[in-house]
Every structure is written in structure tokens, then in C-alpha cells.
Amino acid sequence: MTMVRAGVVPGRRAAWYGVAGVLVTAGICGIVVGMFGVNRVFTGLLLGVAAGISLLFLLFGRDGVVLTDQSIVRRTPWSASTLAWDRVVAGRFALDENARWSLALDLNDGDEPHHELVLLSIPPVVKPIGSAYDMRKREQVNEIRGMLRSKRIPITVLPEIADALTLHWRLAPPTR
């Protein structure tokens, strides 16, 4: 079974996750200081930061989109919904409103004529791979394109994006 993990956490939700991490950090620090005295501030901060970071990893790890052979699963920390592949009209690799490259699926929602599911949002590629982040994003782009190709979903790629992917990341342009 093939499975590709993707998805973009919206800014508002990411901000709420950050607030939750800070609140957990402050709460645990306050509890430790309240129970053991002001001399344990550093211990409280250390435990609070560890718990806050753990919470952030949990929240961000649960949030995303998983593409499988059978369906597309949209997940948040509190829920999950499944979309059938037959709802996908096309894939699109274009510029988004923040001048980032966005790989999205166009969905047919029946009542709503057009709905978008963003799978990936990356800064424009202007140089060869120089970090682990670049390598991971290249792998994600390749995995998502492979999954869409296997499902025979047409992908539209802006020419400047296709050129940069070919030149810098050595990804072949779509065949159709």
C-alpha cells in the first residue's frame, strides 16, 4: 500500500498550536514553582518546555493530508475525513497569494463547483538542493506527483516552476 504524507497547516491553526504550547509550558512551570518554591524555576521551565514541545510535535504531527491508494484522508488533531479519488478533478502547481509555490488538488464537491486541497507550499526553488529541508520537499513533490500520475490525474505546472524543478532539483517535467 502506497502512502504519501502531505498537507499545509493553516496559519491560524498553527498560531493556536503555538499558543497551546506556550500555555502548557507556563502552566507546568507555574505548577512546579508553586509546589517546590521559587528555587525550582529552572526545573519548572525545563519540564514545561519539554511538555510544550512534545505537545507541538503531537499537534503538528497529527495535522495533515495522507494520500493512499484508496482515498485521501484530511486530518486534524481532533478529526479525520476521507475523500474519494473520484472527487479530484486535477492537480495544480502554481504560485499562491504569498508568492510561494503551491501544489494543490482541485476537488469537485457536488454543490460547490470548485474546492481546493493544498498538499504542499514551498518557497520558490532558485538553487540546487542545499539542506535537508530542500531534500525532503523534493521527495514530497516527487512522491505526490507519482501518486497523482498513478491515479491518472492531470497536473498543470506553471512553466517557470517546471523549469526550476528541472534545472535545480532534477525533477522531470510532467509527461502530459
Section 125-141 average pLDDT: 91
Instruction: Write the pLDDT tens digit of every residue in 97-130.
Output: 878 999 999 988 765 556 888 899 999 998 998 8
Instruction: Write the pLDDT tens digit of every residue in 56-74.
Output: 999 999 999 999 999 999 9
Cβ atoms 108, 89 nearer than 8 A: yes
CA geometry: angle at 101 spanning 98 and 102, to 5°? 95
- Of the pLDDT bands very low, low, confident and very high (cuts 50, 70, 90), residue 174 is low
Residue 1 has pLDDT above 70, yes or no: no
> 36-46 burial, b for 16+ CB within 10 Å, e for fewer?
eeeebeeebbe
- Of the pLDDT bands very low, low, confident and very high (cuts 50, 70, 90), residue 44 is very high
Cell of 97: 497569494
